[in-house]
């Protein structure tokens, strides 16, 4: 059996490891039976429709949300351990910056609140965007504010940076600038990033690891490079308007009939019918197919899956 104790080709261990993780609000499960791993040093996209449980998962990792079941560890340490907090930084959609503070005041506050503050990195991030140090936060553009928020997050020198749609309010130019900045800083320091986003092209460009969530459950987890080639997009001619029975020999994520043609996103289990045309889909096509079909069978690449183990209530 394959060794799944460490990620392929890395000695960094697991940034996140969830076993049977669940969160219930009153009678409803926001997140249920989630068991997965994210290797250290990766940029992981957290994808799913609204209400899927993405913010809940990020809230559990930042201890803003208390779990109902299971366990979550961060770099091998239980999330409740006080040693975890200094290692993580979180940035949400509403960047909580004081509008009346200047940029310089904001960075000074960051330095005061964080013992391991990296002033040089924080200042570099602000300066490279030509954000004036004396300007008040309230007068900055959305892109500039996001840059200051990133400076605060990276100034903390986190090992794990959790981002909840951090760029949703930015125009395409600012978004592009922020993704470049984020990737450069993360790569330089080996920071693990887990980032939720609805922008599939952004995820395709930035992320090398994916967690796909739908209806509170993990639908796909693993290396983007392995998840995508596991899928094939097939097209062919229907039989009297019905899908061919041979499709059932494969794992079907999504299928559609259009006139006399059918198209299906499948994970092949055996050689394909010679009557079909097949192409490798893009990441965006794979994600869309899974998002449209939350009941499709889940997929984990090697190492991403972990047994639920002892999953007592917290
Ligand atoms: P996402 O971030 O993917 O949009 P969320 O994690 O915010 O999803 O929400 C998952 C589910 O949990 C949704 O059905 C949402 O209504 C519910 N939920 C989230 N937070 C709360 C809360 N504080 N109280 C009750 N239900 C909540």
Long-range contacts, 61-65 (Cβ 8 Å, 24+) = 61/16, 61/88, 61/160, 61/162, 61/194, 62/88, 62/90, 62/162, 64/90, 65/23
Kindly report the protein residue whose alpha carbon is nearest to atom 1 of ligand 1.
51
Q: How far is the CA of 58 from the centre of ligand 1 (A)?
A: 11
- pLDDT category of residue 69 using cuts at 50, 70 and 90: very high
Distance CA 163, CA 196 (A): 6
* Ligand 1 atom at minimal distance to the Cα of residue 55: 2
Average pLDDT value for residue range 176-190: 87
Distance CA 4, CA 305 (A): 8
Q: Given a cut of 90, is residue 97 above it in pLDDT?
A: no
- Answer yes or no: is the C-beta of 20 below 6 A from any ligand 1 atom: no
Distance CA 13, CA 198 (A): 28
Distance CA 23, CA 29 (A): 6
Q: Which of 145, 154, 212, 213 is nearest to 181 (CA)?
A: 154
**pLDDT digits over 225-244, tens only?**
999 999 999 999 998 888 99
Comparison of pLDDT for 233 and 310, the residue scoring more: 233
- Answer yes or no: is the C-beta of 50 below 6 A from any ligand 1 atom: yes
Q: Given a cut of 50, is residue 79 above it in pLDDT?
A: yes
- What pLDDT, on the 0 to 100 scale, is given for residue 46? 96
- pLDDT category of residue 12 using cuts at 50, 70 and 90: low
Among 48, 56, 57, 194, say which to mutate for ligand 1: greatest number of ligand atoms within 8 Å of CB: 56
pTM over 0.85: yes
Average pLDDT value for residue range 114-118: 90
Q: Given a cut of 80, is residue 194 above it in pLDDT?
A: yes
- pLDDT category of residue 118 using cuts at 50, 70 and 90: very high
Q: How far is the CA of 51 from the centre of ligand 1 (A)?
A: 5
Hey, CA dihedral for 252, 256, 257, 258, is it positive or negative?
A: negative
Q: Given a cut of 80, is residue 313 above it in pLDDT?
A: no
């Amino acid at each position: 059996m394959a060794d799944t104790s460490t990620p392929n080709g890395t000695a960094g261990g697991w940034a996140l490891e969830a076993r049977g993780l669940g969160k219930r609000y009153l009678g409803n499960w926001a997140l249920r039976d989630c068991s997965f791993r994210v290797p250290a040093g990766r940029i992981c996209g957290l994808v799913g429709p609204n209400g899927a449980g993405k913010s809940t998962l990020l809230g559990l990792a930042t201890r803003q949300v208390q779990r109902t079941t299971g366990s979550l560890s961060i770099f091998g340490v239980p999330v409740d351990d006080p040693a975890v907090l200094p290692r993580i930084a979180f940035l949400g959609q509403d960047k909580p910056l004081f509008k009346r503070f200047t940029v310089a005041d904001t960075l000074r506050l960051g330095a005061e609140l964080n013992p391991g503050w990296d002033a040089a990195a924080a200042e570099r991030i602000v300066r490279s965007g030509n954000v004036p140090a004396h300007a008040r936060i309230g007068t900055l553009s959305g892109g500039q504010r996001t840059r200051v928020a990133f400076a605060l997050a990276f100034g903390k020198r986190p090992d794990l940076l959790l981002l909840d749609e951090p760029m949703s309010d930015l125009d395409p130019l600012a978004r592009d600038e922020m993704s470049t900045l984020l990737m450069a800083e993360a790569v330089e320091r080996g920071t693990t990033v887990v980032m939720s986003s609805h922008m599939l092209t952004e995820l395709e460009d930035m992320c090398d690891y994916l967690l796909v969530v739908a209806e509170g459950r993990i639908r796909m987890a693993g290396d983007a490079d392995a998840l995508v080639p596991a899928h094939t997009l097939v097209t062919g001619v229907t039989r009297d308007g019905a899908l061919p029975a041979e499709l059932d020999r494969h794992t079907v994520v999504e299928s559609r009939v259009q006139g006399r043609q059918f198209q299906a996103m499948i994970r092949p289990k055996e050689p394909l019918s010679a009557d079909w045309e097949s192409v490798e889909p893009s990441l965006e096509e794979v994600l869309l197919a899974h998002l449209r079909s939350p009941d499709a069978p889940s997929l984990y690449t090697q190492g991403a899956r972990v047994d639920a183990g002892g999953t007592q209530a917290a």
